[in-house]
């Protein structure tokens, strides 16, 4: 049998996300035969000299990080521990990155942060909040679509929804992770909102942005979840009529509050059954959502050739639904008016 090696014997370099400026020194240490280790998290590091920008291979969509870390400390999440406290980037560098992407031909940017609603940039006496940043990015060009992720339900403001309603290029699609429909579970998760507050935020979206799609994240089988609490999640899903959802079974993450203080006591079989019920319900809700779009016409940003046919293109509407349609003279980066003729639970089919 081969000898087992410990991590210390095989790993030379361990670098946390906030230690990148220390890399030259760490590499020197490794070259001189020592271990290079720096995992210290900073409260000030905003990665100002590097561009936290990702460009999609389709040359249409791009992503710009506007902040780092998170101050929320949800019970099941590793982010505050691994990426540190919340820090916002300078708005001028964000605008510079987004403007460059537009000039390079990109037609969509997604502004990224763990909790974008708490973006804030203070300079002297003036404070720039996320709503104002979003308006400034939207003003780069009317043909440059802007999305953002992710919003925290406790911080999603009416003011933000009103800003989105005023700008056609701010996409009408809100991702609002609920995690559970039970206030008791939300309390154990340390999510800092209740079922009633979450429902109030969904009602605000429906009233200020009636054409917006709403998506969410759901966790099945969190610590101590009872059958009744699970049913509260199902009833909330039905009420919210989500257009799309990311759905997971709870699994413990080392170092989190939940791992250290709560018991992961929902049996695996029960978690699986609850997740399957959630997935089945969302399958129906997604299909109903797509069926409501049949007969409607949307402005679609073309992203590329459909995986299923070289004669078809695909793109997305403002609501973030994937639309497949005949190629014609169109190419990636063009906008097209597409009328929806048919659908599946995942895709709109149009012409």
The distance of closest approach from Cβ of residue 127 to ligand SF4 in the complex, given in angstroms and rounded to an integer, is 21
Q: Does the footprint of ligand SF4 cover residue 176 (CB under 6 A)?
A: no
The distance of closest approach from Cβ of residue 180 to ligand SF4 in the complex, given in angstroms and rounded to an integer, is 12
d(CA 206, CA 217): 18
Beta bridge pairs of residue 217:
246
Q: Does the footprint of ligand SF4 cover residue 117 (CB under 6 A)?
A: no
The distance of closest approach from Cβ of residue 78 to ligand SF4 in the complex, given in angstroms and rounded to an integer, is 8
Helix crossing, 158-166 with 195-208: angle to 10°?
20
Of 63 and 106, the one with the shorter C-beta distance to ligand SF4 is: 63
d(CA 235, CA 278): 10
Q: Which of 115, 117, 173, 306 binds ligand SF4 (CB under 6 A)?
A: 115
Burial of 15 (0-12, 13-18, 19+ CB in 10 A): middle
> x/- contact string, 141-160, with ligand SF4 (CB under 6 A)?
-----------x--------
Residues 6+ apart with CB under 8 A from 193: 153, 154, 186
Q: Does the footprint of ligand SF4 cover residue 256 (CB under 6 A)?
A: no
Q: Which of 64, 65, 67, 79 binds ligand SF4 (CB under 6 A)?
A: 79
Q: Which of 64, 65, 66, 77 binds ligand SF4 (CB under 6 A)?
A: 77
Q: Which of 19, 60, 65, 74 binds ligand SF4 (CB under 6 A)?
A: 74
Helix crossing, 268-293 with 227-240: angle to 10°?
10
d(CA 303, CA 38): 40
For residue 243, give the DSSP letter: S
Helix crossing, 130-138 with 91-103: angle to 10°?
20
What is the side-by-side strand order in the sheet with 213-220? 173-175, 213-220, 244-249
Strand duo 297-305 + 335-343: pairing? antiparallel
Binding residue count for ligand SF4, defined by CB under 6 A: 10
Helix/strand/coil for 284 = helix
Q: Does the footprint of ligand SF4 cover residue 113 (CB under 6 A)?
A: no
d(CA 88, CA 70): 10
Q: Which of 46, 114, 151, 317 binds ligand SF4 (CB under 6 A)?
A: 114
d(CA 217, CA 178): 6
Q: Does the footprint of ligand SF4 cover residue 300 (CB under 6 A)?
A: no
Task: Scan residues 31-70 and list those touching ligand SF4 (CB under 6 A).
Answer: 70
Choose the binding region for ligand SF4 from 74-82, 162-170, 225-233, 240-248 (rule: CB under 6 A): 74-82
Q: Find the DSSP H helices in 117-244.
A: 130-138, 158-166, 183-188, 195-208, 227-240
Q: Which of 80, 84, 221, 315 binds ligand SF4 (CB under 6 A)?
A: 80
Of 26 and 74, the one with the shorter C-beta distance to ligand SF4 is: 74
The distance of closest approach from Cβ of residue 341 to ligand SF4 in the complex, given in angstroms and rounded to an integer, is 38
Q: Does the footprint of ligand SF4 cover residue 236 (CB under 6 A)?
A: no
Of 261 and 292, the one with the shorter C-beta distance to ligand SF4 is: 261
Choose the binding region for ligand SF4 from 3-11, 18-26, 71-79, 281-289 (rule: CB under 6 A): 71-79
Give the count of beta carbons closer than 10 Å to the beta carbon of residue 35.
12
Site residues, ligand SF4 (CB under 6 A): 70, 72-74, 77, 79-80, 114-115, 152
């Amino acid at each position: 049998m081969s000898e087992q090696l410990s991590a210390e014997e095989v790993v030379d370099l361990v670098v946390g996300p906030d230690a990148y400026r220390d890399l030259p020194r760490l590499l020197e240490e490794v070259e001189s035969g020592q271990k290079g280790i720096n995992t210290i998290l900073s409260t000030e590091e905003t990665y100002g000299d590097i561009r936290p920008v990702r460009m999609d291979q389709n040359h249409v969509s791009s992503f710009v990080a506007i902040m780092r870390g998170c101050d929320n400390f949800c019970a099941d999440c590793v982010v505050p521990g691994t990426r540190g406290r919340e820090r916002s980037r300078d708005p001028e560098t964000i605008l510079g990155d987004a403007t460059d992407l537009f000039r390079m031909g990109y037609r969509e940017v997604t502004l990224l942060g763990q909790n974008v609603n708490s973006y804030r940039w203070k300079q002297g006496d003036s404070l720039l909040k996320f709503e104002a940043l979003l308006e400034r990015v939207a003003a780069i060009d009317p043909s440059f679509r802007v999305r953002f992720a992710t919003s925290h339900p406790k911080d999603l403001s009416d003011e933000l929804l009103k800003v989105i309603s005023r700008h056609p290029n701010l996409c009408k699609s809100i991702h609002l992770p609920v995690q559970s429909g039970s206030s008791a579970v939300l309390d154990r998760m340390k999510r800092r909102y209740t079922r009633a507050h979450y429902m109030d935020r969904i009602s605000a979206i429906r009233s200020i942005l009636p054409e917006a799609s709403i998506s969410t994240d759901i966790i099945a089988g969190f610590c101590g979840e009872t059958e009744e609490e699970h049913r509260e999640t199902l009833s909330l899903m039905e009420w919210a009529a989500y257009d799309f959802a990311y759905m997971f079974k709870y699994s413990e993450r080392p170092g989190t509050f939940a791992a250290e203080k709560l018991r992961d006591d929902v049996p695996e079989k029960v978690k699986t059954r609850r997740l399957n019920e959630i997935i089945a319900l969302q399958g129906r809700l997604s299909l109903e959502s797509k069926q409501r779009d049949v007969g409607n016409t949307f402005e679609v940003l073309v992203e590329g050739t459909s995986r299923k046919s070289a004669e078809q293109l695909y793109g997305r509407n403002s609501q973030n639904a994937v639309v497949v349609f005949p190629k014609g003279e169109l190419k990636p980066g063009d906008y097209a008016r597409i009328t929806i003729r048919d659908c599946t639970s995942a895709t709109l089919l149009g012409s």
